[in-house]
Amino acid sequence: MGELKVDKHVQYILSVEKKKDSFEALVMEHLRMNGAYWGLTTLDLLQNVASVDQEEVISWLMSCWDRESGGFAGAIGLDPHLLYTLSAVQILALLNRLDVLDIEMISEYVAGLQNEDGSFSGDMWGEIDTRFSYCAICCLSILRRMDKINLGKAVNYILSCKNLDGGFGATPGGESHAGQIFCCVGALSITGSLHHVDRDLLGWWLCERQCTDGGLNGRPEKLADVCYSWWVLSSLIMIDRVHWIDKSKLTEYILNCQDSENGGISDRPDNAVDVFHTYFGVAGLSLMEYPGLKPIDPAYALPIDVVNRIFFSKF
Amino acid sequence: MEARRSYKSLINVPKRRNSLNATNFESQFPGTDIMKHSRSLLILSPDFGSVWNSRKMVLSREPNLALLIDELNLSMLILSYSPKSEQSWSHRRWVIKKIAEKFHDLYDIIGKESEFVKRIAEKSKMNYRAWDHRCWLILYMNQGQMLDELDKSRNWSELHVADNCCYHYRRRLMLNLLEDSSLKDDEQKSSFYMCHSVDMLKEELKWNLHLIKTYMGREALWIHRRHLSYYLISRITNPIEISSPCKVQLEMISALHCFLGEEMELVHTCLNIPADEFDDARAQAQHAATYLLWISKKIVLSPEYRFQEKLMEVGDLKTILMNTSPEKSLTWERLLDQSPAESEKNHLNFQTSTSMRDLKG
């Protein structure tokens, strides 16, 4: 099985940053902010975030800020959205530079996207999804502006997306999906509302996601995929049921998805690698306390020392 | 290379769009140009949200049914080769909502839309966004349309027994129909719908049983059964429903006994199928065992139903689970070996969820 190729993965992430002009990079341009968050968080978990020029990152990141609305876009000149606003705030928290933000404006933008029923729209065009509830709650919590929204309604909306099997979907009645479960459980965890979750029932559903190859899938009848190492494991940790699954088989599965020559991690063994799966693979290993990695917080999706710095420091 | 060049040159479109509110904008950059350029850009990069937004902005200025229908055609084209594009699905919902606001009658559109998702689902298996879209359409359906959808999706589901999404869709349709019927306050009507809905669930269970026996070891079929059993039992043991003139309580108890007896027999049979070379028998036994776990954990009935005795007839649950899926022994040990106080608490949790209101969620 071998071990985690830390140096190769660092090199891989740095090389992706340099290939900005390739066709692949251009068609993915709209979510570069998410890419930057995945890459930088992985580097930090691998204890290598110092290898990037932080000033350059911050100046690019701030050029994606839309002054008019207060939200962040995925790349320069594009439209703001909660998905990118959270990534931008997470990156600045990671780099300990939340001071560059206009916190009032950003929190007003986020709070302005809450709807009457407590749900959140992703942007001004109104699409609703429990992912956006997570983005809003996580973002406001990092900025310490949770008082800006109606928290009771936000929690009730998330609970209205809970299913009979203990899982959560994107909207009320939506099929349970491990990614949506992470968002809902994460938001409930941040708001101190985990007592609403049926831990045994959800824990069982999440454990049923482990396939015979050791990897985790996101829904019944699907193949295992490295990204669910993060979504499923983090949820299991938040509801205190992580000791219910076979961690050594999962570790082996993730390590088998590494490209040992050129670095990076793919969705399943022998597929092409990308930054998204590299982040989720490393983050999953971090949740399982893999040696040499920084521990990551399962709700905020940031290294634990970063989360501690936010909540135990004055700003 | 050509594609890349055109992409680079067009990437400025959304930037310029930011100044749309300026009074002289129309003369600098008319809506038709935005529609033309954004179209090619989206064909290359379907998840480029800002570009879809620039189209929404133009369409919001002068909503016109023909243009909105064109918009559905464009996203249909894009989804046909990029079926997971979340932004395209989201744009579609925005357009349909616009049509609903301005031009009310959605009957035809909803029918075509559901048909479209069905075609996409053929090519892109268990596509969460596509099925989520189809479930969203239920909001706009009347009862007749829901029944029709239920009917039409039956054949498709028989051909896709490993597709959890299509069974989830059927459950959404059924729950919406059941919800509709429970809203009727007229007593006679209510009892009519009550019998009708129990029949609907029984029919679905019968069909599902046939599929389980025909296609061994399919997780999606067993998950469907978990839900259906739960709906049926909560329905026939619901005190409000019992007091309805349609059924007397004794009949209900006997119906429940009969149902549980059949379920236990099914589990028993599936646990004892001789091993085969394809591992189907093992998978079937695994799913039967977890089905038993579901029934014992999820359905809590008062002692008069002698429910636990029935379950015990099949054997000791933990032993069964350990034998059928030893690789999940950590889960079984932890789930079943809890202190009595903890397990009581959980039972209460499970019990609180047996009203039809919760079934909706």
Dist CA B327 CA A245 (whole Å): 9
CB of A149 closer than 8 Å to CB of A111: yes
Question: Which residues does B357 contact at the CB level (< 8 Å), separation at least 6?
Answer: none
Instruction: Decide if pLDDT at B188 tops 90.
Output: no
What number of H helices and E strands is found in chain A?
14, 0
pLDDT the model gives residue B278: 76
Q: Is the dihedral of CA B217, B219, B224, B225 positive or negative?
A: positive
Structural domains of chain B, count:
1
Q: What is the C-alpha radius of gyration for chain B, rounded to an integer number of angstroms?
A: 26
Average pLDDT value for chain B: 81
Whether B243 shows a pLDDT value over 70: the answer reads no
What pLDDT band is residue B205 in, cutting at 50, 70 and 90? Answer: very high
* Nearest C-alpha in A relative to B90: A127
Find the mean pLDDT for residues B72-78.
96
> Residue B98: pLDDT above 60?
yes
Cα–Cα distances in angstroms (integers) from residue A158 to residues A76, B93, B286, in the given order: 32, 21, 32
Task: Give the pLDDT confidence of B259-303 residue by residue, as tens digits.
Answer: 989 999 999 999 998 877 778 999 999 999 999 999 988 877 777
Contact criterion met (CB below 8 Å) for B91 and B56: yes
Q: How far is A306 from chain B (nearest CA, A)?
A: 31
Provide the 10 A C-beta neighbour count for residue B119.
Answer: 14
Rounded mean pLDDT, B102-130: 91
Residue B351: band (very low, low, confident or very high) from pLDDT cuts 50, 70, 90? very low
Structural domain boundaries, residue B236: 195-330
Higher pLDDT, A246 or B308: A246
- B113 domain-assigned: no
Q: CB contact, 8 Å: B75 with chain A?
A: no
3-state secondary structure chain B: CHHHHHHHHHCCHHHHHHHHHCCCHHHHCCHHHHHHHHHHHHHHCCCCHHHHHHHHHHHHHCCCHHHHHHHHHHHHHHHHHCCCCHHHHHHHHHHHHHHHHHHCCCHHHHHHHHHHHHHHHHHCCCCHHHHHHHHHHHHHCCHHHHHHHHHHHHHHHHHCCCCHHHHHHHHHHHHHHHHHHHCCCCHHHHHHHHHHHHHHHHHHHHHHHHHHHHCCCCHHHHHHHHHHHHHHHHHHHCHHHHCCCCCCHHHHHHHHHHHHHHHHHHHHHHHCCCCCCCCHHHHHHHHHHHHHHHHHHHCCCCHHHCHHHHHHCCCCHHHHHHHHCHHHHHHHHHHHCCCHHHHHHHHHHHHCCCCHHHHHC
Query: Nearest residue on chain A to B226, judged by CA atoms?
Result: A165
pLDDT of residue B345: 47
Beta-carbon contacts of A134 under 8 Å, excluding residues fewer than 6 positions away, are A182, A183, A184, A186, A187
Candidates B332, B225, B327, B324; CA nearest to B283 is B324
DSSP category for residue A240 = T
Give the residue among A80, A174, A78 at the shortest CA–CA distance from A129: A174
The pLDDT tens digits for A207-227 are 999 999 999 999 999 999 999
Q: Tell me whether A213 touches chain B (CB under 8 Å).
A: no
Separation of alpha carbons A254 and B118, rounded Å: 34
Q: Is the pLDDT confidence value at B340 over 60?
A: no
**What per-residue confidence (pLDDT) applies to B18?**
45
Residue B173 has pLDDT above 50, yes or no: yes
Any B CB within 8 A of A112 CB: no
Whole-angstrom Cα distance, residue A127 to residue A269? 35
pLDDT value of residue A314: 61
The answer to whether A81 contacts chain B (CB < 8 Å) is yes
Is residue B227 over pLDDT 80?
yes
Q: What is the DSSP letter of A264?
A: -
Q: Is B353 in Cβ contact with A212 (below 8 Å)?
A: no
Average pLDDT over residues A237-255: 97
Q: Is the pLDDT of residue B338 over 70?
A: no
With a cut of 90, say whether residue B88 has pLDDT above it.
yes
- pLDDT at residue B348 is higher than 60: no
Phi, psi angles (nearest 5°) of residue A303: -55, 145
Task: For chain B, report the end-to-end CA distance as a whole number of angstroms.
Answer: 49
Cβ under 8 Å to A: B residues 18-37: 18
CB A185 within 8 A of CB A226: no
pLDDT band at A308 (very low <50, low <70, confident <90, very high): very high
- pLDDT at site B247: 52
**Mean predicted lDDT score pLDDT of chain A:** 95
b/e per residue A151-174 (b: at least 16 CB within 10 A)? beebbebbbbbbbbbbbbbbbbbb
Does some domain include residue B344?
A: no
Q: What is the model's pLDDT at position A315?
A: 52
Q: Are A74 and A31 in contact, with CB atoms under 8 Å apart? A: yes
Q: Is A65 helix (H, G, I), strand (E, B) or coil?
A: strand
User: At a CB cut-off of 8 Å and minimum separation 6, what does A254 contact?
Assistant: A215, A226, A229, A265, A281, A284, A285
Per-residue pLDDT tens over the stretch B244-268:
555 566 777 788 888 989 999 999 9
Q: Which helix (H) or strand (E) holds A94?
A: helix A82-94
Examine the pLDDT at B184 and tell me if it is beyond 60.
Answer: no
Minimal CA–CA distance to B170: which of B208, B214, B198?
B208
Interchain contact, B49 vs A30, CB within 8 Å: yes
B46-60, B195-209, B329-343, range with the lowest pLDDT: B329-343
Residue A175 has pLDDT above 90, yes or no: yes
pLDDT at B64: 87
**Can you tell me the distance from the alpha carbon of A181 to that of A234, in angstroms, rounded to the nearest whole number?**
10
Cα-to-chain-centroid distance, residue B338? 32
Residues A3-41 have pLDDT tens digits of: 999 999 999 999 988 887 777 777 788 899 999 999 999
| Contact check, Cβ <8 Å, B328/A207 | yes
Residue B337 has pLDDT above 70, yes or no: yes
Taking only the tens place, the pLDDT of each residue in B32-44 is: 888 999 999 999 9
Residue ranges covered by each domain of chain A: 6-312
Q: Give the CATH architecture of domain A6-312.
A: Alpha/alpha barrel (1.50)
Cβ count within 10 A of residue A288: 17
The pTM assigned to this predicted structure is: 0.91
pLDDT tens sequence across A122-132:
999 999 999 99
* Distance from C-alpha of A147 to C-alpha of A136, rounded to nearest angstrom: 12
The pLDDT of residue B154 is 95
Among the listed residues A140, A107, A63, A123, the one whose alpha carbon sits nearest the alpha carbon of residue A300 = A140
Q: Is A30 within 8 Å of B45 when comparing Cβ atoms?
A: yes
Question: How far separated are the first and last CA of chain A, in Å rounded?
Answer: 45
Q: CA nearest B173 in A: which residue?
A: A173
Average pLDDT over residues B141-169: 95
Alpha helices in A46-81 (DSSP H): 54-63
Mean pLDDT of A59-83: 96
Of residues B18, B168, B358, nearest to A175 (C-beta): B168
DSSP reduced 3-state for A296: strand
How far apart (Å, rounded) are the C-alpha atoms in residues B126 and B146?
21
Widest CA span in chain B? 80
Rg of the Cα trace of chain A?
19
Residues whose CB falls within 8 Å of the CB of residue A17, separated by 6 or more in sequence, listed in order: A39, A52
SS3 A114: strand
ipTM: 0.94
The whole-number pLDDT of residue B343 equals 47
pLDDT-derived band of residue B30, with 50, 70 and 90 as boundaries? confident
Check whether B341 has a pLDDT greater than 70: no
Contact, B164 vs B121, CB < 8 A?
Answer: no
B67-78 average pLDDT score:
95
In degrees and rounded to multiples of 5, residue A216 shows phi and psi of: -110, 140
pLDDT exceeds 90 at position A262: yes
Decide if B44 is inside a domain: no
